[in-house]
Chain A
Amino acid sequence: DGGITQSPKYLFRKEGQNVTLSCEQNLNHDAMYWYRQDPGQGLRLIYYSQIVNDFQKGDIAEGYSVSREKKESFPLTVTSAQKNPTAFYLCASSIGGEVYGYTFGSGTRLTVV
């Protein structure tokens, strides 16, 4: 079955560490996105990529980095510069353009300990 896979499901990070969240899709979608969701809050866009080897900052990119070396993969690194990283991270993909909506992965719940 085609879909979008995020791993790990739960992640614990110590203060000062960088961590990388994985996002892989086999939907042959061109566009991929990373969102952050805090309790009781809406989704906020971190980074997005419309095509391989290209990506743009979203509304809250500070403290995060991404790469898009393959169409299928869009990993997100949460760096130590991100002051409040505890959140639910959602990766999404779309066929391109916003006409069809986004398909989401099941998310990674990151907790700083």
Chain B
Amino acid sequence: RKEVEQDPGPFNVPEGATVAFNCTYSNSASQSFFWYRQDCRKEPKLLMSVYSSGNEDGRFTAQLNRASQYISLLIRDSKLSDSATYLCVVNMNYGGSQGNLIFGKGTKLSVKP
């Protein structure tokens, strides 16, 4: 099983749509979870951290399900500017030592007018 898995997409949605991405991770001991956004030929930028209780930032909502080891990102009222690749990021914590962050390959979102 890959450490962090995402549906590569692309997800093609009209403006104003609601779209959801899922991500699964393999290490049940992982403690830190993030969603990053990467525009074409640019560096990844932190979109939001994912907390156990779920968290919201404007049109973006992140959820964590530890039992099933998956993370989700919901985008409401999609904008053209939301078009990007969304990376699921998880720390791999083995044996109590802090591991590095592992990046999924990303899910590509294209929002159309």
Does the CB pair A104–B45 fall under 8 Å?
A: yes
Q: How many residues of A sit at the interface, in one of the four size bands?
A: 20 to 34
Does the CB pair B42–A107 fall under 8 Å?
A: yes
A-B contact count (CB 8 A): 49
Does the CB pair B44–A45 fall under 8 Å?
A: no
Q: A98-B32, A98-B100, A99-B32 are in contact. Are A105 and B43 (CB under 8 A)?
A: yes
Known: A42-B104, A99-B32, A104-B45. 10 other contacts (CB 8 A): A40-B105, A42-B87, A43-B44, A58-B100, A98-B100, A98-B101, A99-B31, A101-B32, A101-B34, A104-B44
Chain B positions 63-113 with a Cβ under 8 Å from a chain A Cβ: 87, 89, 91, 98-101, 103-106
Number of residues of chain B lying within 8 A (CB) of chain A: 23
Give B residues with C-beta under 8 Å from A: 4, 31-32, 34, 36, 41-46, 49, 87, 89, 91, 98-101, 103-106
Nearest chain B CB to A58's CB is how many angstroms away?
7
Closest 7 CB pairs of A and B: A42-B105, A98-B91, A104-B43, A43-B103, A98-B32, A101-B46, A101-B34
